[in-house]
């Protein structure tokens, strides 16, 4: 999961695509920064909460939350109000924090990052 660090946690990247992928099993973000593009796929998404999605969505950071921390517990509380998409056992919890626009909490199995 150190791939996030190599992209500086996608700080200041724009989210311009939000899609359900992998035959409904995953949530994918399409991101751009200048002439660079990347996708971040939360493989085997089990639950997610998306707030404030608009025409302009700039990422502050995408971080994995550690179990036992206050942020992790807050994220789990937020997910309690969402629907479960799968009976699979989640392994990770991520927070997509915004500078502007969309903020997300995603519960998932693994992370896939592709860039051009």
What is the DSSP secondary-structure string of 20-45? EETTTTEEEEEEEETTEEEEEEEET-
Average pLDDT in the 16-22 region?
A: 95
pLDDT digits (tens, 9 = 90+) for 29-79: 999 999 999 999 999 999 999 999 999 999 999 999 999 999 999 999 999
Q: Are 39 and 27 in contact (CB under 8 A)?
A: no
Instruction: Supply the mean pLDDT for the chain.
Output: 94
- Predicted local confidence at residue 1, as pLDDT: 58
What percent of the chain has a predicted confidence (pLDDT) above 90? Answer: 85
2 pLDDT above the threshold of 80? no
Tokens representing residue 71 in the block: 């942020």
- Predicted local confidence at residue 93, as pLDDT: 97
Alpha carbons 27 and 37: distance in angstroms, whole number: 17
Cross-strand bridge partners of residue 92: 108
- Predicted local confidence at residue 107, as pLDDT: 96
């Amino acid at each position: 999961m150190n791939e996030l660090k190599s992209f500086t946690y996608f700080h200041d990247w724009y989210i311009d695509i939000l899609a359900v992928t992998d035959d409904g099993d995953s949530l994918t973000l399409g991101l751009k920064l200048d002439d660079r593009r990347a996708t971040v796929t939360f493989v085997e998404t089990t639950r997610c909460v998306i707030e404030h999605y608009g025409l302009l969505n700039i990422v502050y950071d995408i971080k994995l939350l550690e179990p036992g921390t206050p942020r992790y517990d807050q994220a789990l509380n937020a997910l309690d109000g969402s629907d479960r998409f799968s009976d699979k056992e989640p392994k990770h919890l991520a927070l997509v924090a915004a500078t502007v626009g969309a903020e997300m909490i995603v519960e998932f199995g693994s992370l896939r990052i592709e860039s051009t």
